[in-house]
Amino acid sequence: MERSRVLLEAARIIRERSEELATMETINNGKSIFEARVDIEISWQTLEYYAGLAGSMAGQHVQLPGGSFGYTRREPLGVCVGIGAWNYPFQIACWKSGPALASGNAMVYKPSPFTPITVVLLAEIFREAGAPPGLFNVVQGGASTGEFLSKHPDVAKISFTGSVPTGSKIMEMASKGIKPVTLELGGKSPLIIFSDSDLENAVNGAMMANFLTQGQVCCNGTRVFVQSNILQKFTEEVVKKVKKIKIGDPLLEDTRMGPLINRPQLEKVFAFIKGAKEQGAKVLTGGEPYIPEDQKLKAGFYMTPCVLGDCKDDMTCVKEEIFGPVMSILPFDTEEEVLERANNSTYGLAAGVFTRDIQRAHRVVASLQAGMCFINNYNVSPVELPFGGYKKSGFGRENGQVTIEYYSQLKTVCVEMGKVESVF
């Protein structure tokens, strides 16, 4: 209950300061203020949710023959390390610290060096909310700091959000100390649109699946499979909407797309688009540098959101995570065919299906190899639901009740009520 009180107070402070925190997150990351507000809302909801669970953590009592019994205790792990990515800096820190602190651990958190700011505010908020000094710590730095933390003998667990190659390195380092890891890695998620779906919903779903945070979202549904008989209509509608996305100063109310995180990321995305054209894909809109009129934004890492048509499954833009505002559209004919193609990926973070046929919807998600599946929506993230990947997208879960299990360990106590029957 004490932990719960601290988390509730932290959630209250975040809510009270949400406008300031959202502004800082926009400056930190470049995402629109509109989206940053949603991130802050999800963040305090996460702390509230785990505050609710903190007081209910309990073990099990088991009766054994002869009046003996056993019980289990759910105990904290110790010092947990959180290593975060730059796309959802504040939210990722809350997704990790919420369940970590609720379970009774301390946390050392290393944000991405591209977004160092807002997690420091989170640390100050935890202190203000009554967390003891040193319970939640922020260490700034890049790869070498992350490696130092991952190898440190006093660290009990590592929770990481970021790319697959770094995730693999962290798992290797953790293996030396036999430490549990949670890995939230990348994706190349499929979004399947059947011709019986509500077209307007499906188009909006595809927009939500591709263009939040300048497309730099791990669970984005970037492989958009569209049933052939609605391909043309769907594509027209999507392109129309994409052209209308307001790009510019992310601090302005009506902006919906700010700059990408940095120059290398922008160049990486352009290289993917260039490669896609060389492999025969057609740019239906966007994919160009964008120079805002505002003089002070001219050096920003802006681009126009892009839709690629005439895509094939073996193109690099369809196989690899681009991490930018680029949607690839792929036609399909049958359910069987699309399932096989959707699952033909080393990733398995998320997947979506749009259809009005409820039997088909559930049949399809049951066969999708993805940890987070959406039916008739995409990229909503209620904190009550577990989130995490299959295959190379990682393992372990964030959010939901189950995450307590990833931040705690079970002790079994066996109690003898009779005499010791020695075999010797």
Ligand X SMILES: NC(=O)C1=CN([C@@H]2O[C@H](COP(=O)(O)OP(=O)(O)OC[C@H]3O[C@@H](n4cnc5c(N)ncnc54)[C@H](O)[C@@H]3O)[C@@H](O)[C@H]2O)C=CC1
Looking at the annotation, which residues are catalytic? 184
Q: How far is the CB of 51 from ligand NM2 (least distance, A)?
A: 20
CA distance 108 to 111: 10
Who contacts 60 (Cβ-Cβ below 8 Å, separation ≥6)?
71, 72
Contact 193, 227 (CB under 8 A): yes
Q: How far is the CB of 285 from ligand X (least distance, A)?
A: 22
Of residues 115 and 408, the one with the C-beta less far from ligand NM2: 115
Q: By CB under 6 A, tell whether 347 contacts ligand X.
A: no
DSSP-assigned states of every residue in 154-181: TEEEEEEES-HHHHHHHHHHHHHTT--E
Among 150, 159, 255, 345, binds ligand X (CB under 6 A): 150
Of residues 18 and 150, the one with the C-beta less far from ligand X: 150
Among 21, 121, 174, 212, binds ligand NM2 (CB under 6 A): 212
CA distance 3 to 104: 7
Among 49, 50, 86, 225, binds ligand X (CB under 6 A): 86
Q: By CB under 6 A, tell whether 364 contacts ligand X.
A: no
CA distance 321 to 400: 26
Among 66, 67, 78, 142, binds ligand X (CB under 6 A): 142
Of residues 246-305, those binding ligand X (CB under 6 A): 265, 268
Of residues 160 and 234, the one with the C-beta less far from ligand X: 160
Q: H or E segment at 320?
A: none
First to last CA, the chain: 47
Contact partner, 318, from ligand NM2, ligand X, none, Cβ < 5-8 Å per class: none
Q: By CB under 6 A, tell whether 81 contacts ligand X.
A: no
Q: How far is the CB of 220 from ligand NM2 (least distance, A)?
A: 8
Classified as helix, coil or strand, 20 is helix
Q: By CB under 6 A, tell whether 92 contacts ligand NM2.
A: yes
Q: By CB under 6 A, tell whether 29 contacts ligand X.
A: no
Classified as helix, coil or strand, 303 is strand
Residue 413 amino acid letter = V
Q: H or E segment at 206?
A: helix 199-210
The mark string for 299-328 relative to ligand X (x by CB under 6 A, - otherwise) is ----------------------x-x-----
Who contacts 349 (Cβ-Cβ below 8 Å, separation ≥6)?
185, 186, 187, 189, 218, 219, 370, 371, 372, 388, 389, 390, 393, 394
Contact partner, 92, from ligand X, ligand NM2, none, Cβ < 5-8 Å per class: ligand NM2
What would you measure as the largest C-alpha separation in the chain, in angstroms? 88
Of residues 136-195, those binding ligand NM2 (CB under 6 A): 161
Q: By CB under 6 A, tell whether 30 contacts ligand X.
A: no
**Sign of dihedral through CA atoms 348, 349, 355, 360?**
positive
The residue number with the shortest CB distance to ligand X is: 146
CA distance 370 to 167: 18
CA distance 390 to 368: 10
**Helix 18-29 vs helix 89-102: angle between axes, to the nearest 10 degrees?**
120
Among 189, 369, 379, 408, binds ligand NM2 (CB under 6 A): 379
The mark string for 197-226 relative to ligand X (x by CB under 6 A, - otherwise) is ---------------------x--------
Among 76, 99, 162, 325, binds ligand X (CB under 6 A): 162
Nearest CA to 96 among 399, 409, 422, 405? 399
Nearest CA to 386 among 74, 64, 99, 110? 99
CA distance 290 to 420: 78
Among 49, 50, 86, 88, binds ligand NM2 (CB under 6 A): 88
Number of chain positions touching ligand X (CB under 6 A): 26
Q: How far is the CB of 43 from ligand NM2 (least distance, A)?
A: 10
Among 5, 127, 152, 169, binds ligand X (CB under 6 A): 169
Q: By CB under 6 A, tell whether 211 contacts ligand NM2.
A: no
Among 159, 161, 182, 369, binds ligand X (CB under 6 A): 161
Q: Which stretch binds ligand X (CB under 6 A): 48-56, 125-133, 141-149, 244-252?
A: 141-149
CA dihedral angle for residue 4, residue 10, residue 16, residue 17, rounded to 10 degrees? -160
Among 381, 393, 399, 403, binds ligand NM2 (CB under 6 A): 381
Where do contacts with ligand X occur on this chain (CB under 6 A)?
83-87, 110, 112-113, 142-143, 146-147, 150, 161-163, 166, 169-170, 185-186, 218, 265, 268, 321, 323
Where do contacts with ligand NM2 occur on this chain (CB under 6 A)?
87-88, 92, 161, 212, 217-219, 379, 381
